Amino acid sequence: MNIIVCKSYDEMSQRAAQMVAAQIKSKPSSVIGLATGSTPEGLYAQLVEMCKNGELSFKDVTTVNLDEYYPINPTNDQSYRYFMNYHLFDHLDIDKANTNVPDGTAADPVAEAHRYEQKITDLGGIDLQILGIGRNGHIGFNEPDQKLMLDTHVTDLTPDTIDANSRFFASANDVPRQALTMGMGSIFKAKSIIIMATGANKKKAVSAMLERTVDTSFPATMLNFHPNVTLICTADVLE
């Protein structure tokens, strides 16, 4: 795993944006995997800036997001579709038809998970995947468990994740109990991966990942199997 330690959140966002921009410049029709959460907000602001400056174009880019709550309506401001439109897609020259987020309103979530996995396969996999990390070591919504799923699937959120994400909702009771998420295999279809982490509450999860062991109770440790992963983090995560 390559590790880039940054002095500030801004520097972390810039370094990640430079890597995304380099990917899109070298292959304008790239498939970029995207994450939600507060960690990549600065990265998305940088990409919007680059696009507004005319430095970067998303006209031929396709995006696939990692996950979405279930059930949730895209008009709900806590849905990941709403987050992506608000922070990124509404400000880029991207064709919205080429932005993919699992459908939190699907009547049959299992069928939706299959459709989403097939979509990733049909796109030929992901060129560059952006990941955050849950404080319990989850990636996407692959929660700590004895078994981890390979394909996109419906998952129950752990009490820890419901608690961590309740800060965005009126109360913990309003956090959906389930989600649709890419599996470990879907994520591993990415040719390269950037995992971003900032803040002392990510220390435990990141240090588990850097131990160079693999443990399904910290799903991010699986990234040690992938040949092309870059951790971009702020120094507080490693202190």
Measured from the CB of residue 93, what is the shortest distance to ligand GLP in angstroms? 25
Query: Among positive and negative, which fits the CA dihedral 160, 161, 165, 169?
Result: negative
Taking CB under 6 A as the criterion, the residue among 12, 30, 37, 127 binding ligand GLP is 37
Taking CB under 6 A as the criterion, the residue among 17, 20, 24, 35 binding ligand GLP is 35
Geometric angle at alpha carbon 10, from 8 and 14, rounded to 5°: 120
Q: Choose the stretch contacting ligand GLP; rule: CB under 6 A; options: 7-15, 31-39, 118-126, 224-232.
A: 31-39
Q: Counting Cβ atoms within 10 Å, is residue 55 exposed (0-12), middle (13-18) or buried (19+)? A: exposed
Contact flag: residue 70 with ligand GLP (CB under 6 A): no
Q: Choose the stretch contacting ligand GLP; rule: CB under 6 A; options: 22-30, 33-41, 56-64, 108-116.
A: 33-41
- What is the three-class DSSP state of 156? strand
Residue from 65, 138, 153, 165 carrying the catalytic annotation: 138
In the residue annotation, 138 being an active-site residue is answered as yes
Site for ligand GLP in 125-164 (CB under 6 A): 132-134, 140-141, 161
b (16+ CB within 10 A) / e for 162-184: bebbeeebeeeeebbebbbbbbb
Rounded to whole angstroms, the Cα distance separating 163 from 165 reads 6
Contact footprint for ligand GLP (CB under 6 A) = 35-39, 66-67, 132-134, 140-141, 161, 165
- Active-site positions? 67, 136, 138, 143
